[in-house]
């Protein structure tokens, strides 16, 4: 029994001390990445965030009584159009992938997307975005990075074209008539 307790104490004490920060380098300046970090660490995903804008470093807390409180430390470094983000913390990756979740949230704010919904009468039209055929047919809902596009739908020789502006988190809805 004594050996089991020692092993458990070693696991609980040593593994967190050996946890290395997870890093990722972005093709963006650190001001832009820091703005994404600030948005990604806002409630409700994290209990609190203590962020230092001058040093571009911080600490966030996640978890609760039942899942266990966990802390992540965040640091940015870089210059020009390259920024390295390091996220450290204990226990992340054992029961929860807190570091991976934070990276996904940050990337969502760095690479904003919107949703496009296209329906036609009759259904089953081919969908083209900027003259590239998509694999889905109408009706369809899909995400695109923010920006301006040309949407075309084609069925039975009939074609309808519309300009689309995809905005972050916004649904652009198109109901197009292809009836003869």
Same-domain status, 56 and 105: yes
Determine the Cα angle at 101 with ends 113 and 77, to 5°: 85
Same-domain status, 56 and 106: yes
- Intervals of the chain under pLDDT 50: 9-10, 13-14, 16-17, 93
Distance, in Å, from the CA atom of 42 to the CA atom of 70, rounded to the nearest integer, reads 16
CATH number at residue 24: 3.30.530.50
Closest CA to 112 of 174, 166, 33, 47: 166
Distance, in Å, from the CA atom of 156 to the CA atom of 88, rounded to the nearest integer, reads 56
6, part of any domain: no
pLDDT tens for residues 4-55?
555 554 455 445 445 678 899 988 899 989 999 998 898 888 888 899 999 9
Same-domain status, 56 and 79: yes
Q: What is the pLDDT of residue 45?
A: 80
Q: What is the pLDDT of residue 69?
A: 80
Distance, in Å, from the CA atom of 137 to the CA atom of 140, rounded to the nearest integer, reads 6
Distance, in Å, from the CA atom of 91 to the CA atom of 19, rounded to the nearest integer, reads 8
Q: Give the domain-ending residue among 62, 82, 110.
A: 110
Domain tally, the chain: 2
Q: Give the domain-ending residue among 55, 90, 110.
A: 110
Q: What is the pLDDT of residue 21?
A: 85
38, part of any domain: yes
DSSP code for 146 = S
Same-domain status, 117 and 130: yes
Same-domain status, 120 and 106: no
Distances from the Cα of 145 to the Cαs of 27, 36, 128, 166, 170, in angstroms?
16, 16, 15, 7, 11
Q: What is the pLDDT of residue 7?
A: 53
Closest CA to 72 of 56, 55, 64, 60: 60
Distance, in Å, from the CA atom of 176 to the CA atom of 91, rounded to the nearest integer, reads 51
- What is the torsional sign of CA 131, 132, 137, 140? negative
CATH number at residue 124: 2.60.40.10
Q: Give the domain-ending residue among 58, 92, 110.
A: 110
Same-domain status, 68 and 102: yes
48 lies in which domain range?
20-110
Distance of CA 176 to the CA centre of its chain: 31
Q: What is the pLDDT of residue 100?
A: 85
């Amino acid at each position: 029994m004594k050996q089991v307790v020692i092993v458990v104490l070693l696991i609980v004490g040593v593994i967190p001390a050996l946890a290395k920060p997870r890093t990722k380098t972005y093709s963006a300046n650190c001001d832009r990445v820091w703005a994404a970090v600030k948005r990604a660490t806002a409630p409700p995903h994290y209990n609190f965030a203590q962020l230092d804008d001058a040093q571009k470093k911080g600490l966030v807390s996640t978890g609760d009584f039942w899942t266990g409180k966990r802390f992540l430390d965040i640091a940015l470094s870089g210059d020009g159009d390259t920024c390295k983000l390091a996220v450290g913390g204990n226990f992340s990756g054992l029961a929860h992938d807190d570091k991976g979740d934070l990276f996904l949230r940050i990337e969502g704010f760095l690479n904003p997307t919107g949703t496009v919904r296209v329906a036609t009468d009759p259904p089953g039209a081919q969908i083209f975005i900027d003259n590239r055929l998509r694999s889905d047919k109408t009706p369809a809902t899909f995400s695109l990075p923010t920006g301006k596009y040309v949407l075309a739908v084609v069925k039975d020789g009939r074609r309808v074209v519309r300009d689309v502006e995809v905005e972050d988190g916004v649904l652009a809805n198109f109901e197009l008539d292809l009836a003869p």
